[in-house]
Structure 1
Amino acid sequence: MRAVIQRTLSSQVTSEGIETGRAGFGLTVLLGVGKEDGKEDVQYMADKITNLRIFEDDQGKMNRSLMDIGGDMLVISQFTLYGDVRHGRRPGFDQAAPPMLAETLYDDFVAAVRSRGISAGTGVFRTDMVVTLANHGPVTILIDSKKKF
């Protein structure tokens, strides 16, 4: 499982012109599911992301997590995080999970985040979406549950 995590002042997502999710101050997470991913990846990512200390404390140091600040999260499915561009000019996506597995694990991730008391908005799986956000910092972190980077 891969994620691009952005610290944001606010974010929202629309699909077919209808807002489907939003978040206030907190994180916007682009989440990709790989074909080898399972429940353990979901739990690892939910724990890592909700407890990642990338918010400033009173001294201005990144020392607080989303859990600490009571922030929101917007989660967007993003299979293109598994795009392989090592050969040719068109990305290959054969390492991305098939849609049924990806949607199940995406939903499980959102449920795991919400079970921690985080308000989590979402996009609509397998649709064309427009994501609007206001970066704060900017702070952008990449995480891979298989620890490839």
Structure 2
Amino acid sequence: MTGAHSNDAVVSAQSSLCLVWLFTFSLSVGPMGWTIPAEVSSTRLRSKTICLARNVYYLTLLWANILEPYMVNPTSWNWRGYTGFFWCGWAALTLAWAFFRLTETKDGTFEELDLMFAAGIPTRQFAAYHVDAYAEDLAVKDRVGDHGDGAKNKETEA
């Protein structure tokens, strides 16, 4: 009978940790999955980007919810706590993707983002550029060059 009580304690502890994780995730980075597609897409493609992002999210969630029971089920794959390493690997891949591919939108308006997309500037370098949305031609300048510290403007290099 002692084993049943200890098993109940482990199940209760795991359930409590899952609830703490869900609460923390929902109050911190969880909502970013809703805001990032709306903030970083071009204005013309915003609705399509949001729709595509939501569909990919739901398909990934479906895939994860199918795999997870097999991972923790003692009569199936029985990965137990090693399941965390699998999800840690996916999180590391996602972090690497976000670091290299996610658009920097700091101090940029939607119009400026659209002009930088049109100019073909790599998304990782958006923060380093300044856009004059009201200029006659597409004036996309390196922010460093605008401060007069000797760097060339990107428009003069072309």
TM-score, normalised by the number of residues in structure 1:
0.26
More helix by share: 2
More RCO (CA 8 Å, sep 6+): 1
More strand by share: 1
